[in-house]
C-alpha cells in the first residue's frame, strides 16, 4: 500500500519552503554562471556566486519572514 492509498499525498501540497536556502542556491548558481561565461574565471565566478547567493538569500529570506513578497498571500505583519 503506497502513501496515496493511505490518504497521505506524497508531495505535500503545503510544504514549507526555506526561502533563504532557495535564494542562496539560485544566487550562487547565477553568480557562478555569470563569472564563468562573462569573465571566464572560476575563482571570480565562485566569489560572485557566493556574494550574489548570500545577498539574494538574505533578501528573500528576510522579505518572506516579514510576510512580504508572497503571491498575494496576506500582508506584512504589524509591529
**pLDDT the model gives residue 79:** 57
**pLDDT the model gives residue 50:** 80
The residue among 34, 33, 26 whose CA lies nearest residue 53 is 26
Share of the chain above pLDDT 90, in %: 0
Q: Looking at the domain assignment, is residue 30 inside a domain?
A: yes
Q: Looking at the domain assignment, is residue 71 inside a domain?
A: no
| Number of domains into which the chain is organized | 1
Q: How far apart are CA 28 and CA 53, in angstroms?
A: 4
**Residues whose CB is less than 8 angstroms from the CB of residue 41 and which lie 6 or more positions away in sequence, other chains included:** 35
Q: What range does the domain containing 60 cover?
A: 19-66
Q: Looking at the domain assignment, is residue 60 inside a domain?
A: yes
CA 9 distance to own-chain centroid: 24
Q: Looking at the domain assignment, is residue 14 inside a domain?
A: no
The beta-strand segments (E) located in the chain are: none
| pLDDT beneath 70, residues of the chain | 1-17, 65, 67-79
The model carries a pTM of 0.48
**pLDDT the model gives residue 76:** 53
**pLDDT the model gives residue 18:** 72
Q: Looking at the domain assignment, is residue 72 inside a domain?
A: no
Q: Looking at the domain assignment, is residue 10 inside a domain?
A: no
The residue among 21, 20, 18 whose CA lies nearest residue 62 is 20
Amino acid at each position: 500500500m503506497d502513501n496515496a492509498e493511505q490518504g497521505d499525498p506524497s508531495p505535500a501540497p503545503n510544504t514549507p519552503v526555506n526561502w533563504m536556502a532557495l535564494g542562496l542556491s539560485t544566487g550562487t548558481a547565477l553568480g557562478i554562471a555569470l563569472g564563468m561565461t562573462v569573465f571566464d574565471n572560476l575563482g571570480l565566478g565562485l566569489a560572485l556566486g557566493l556574494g550574489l547567493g548570500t545577498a539574494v538569500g538574505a533578501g528573500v529570506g528576510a522579505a518572506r519572514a516579514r510576510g512580504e513578497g508572497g503571491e498575494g498571500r496576506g500582508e506584512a505583519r504589524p509591529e
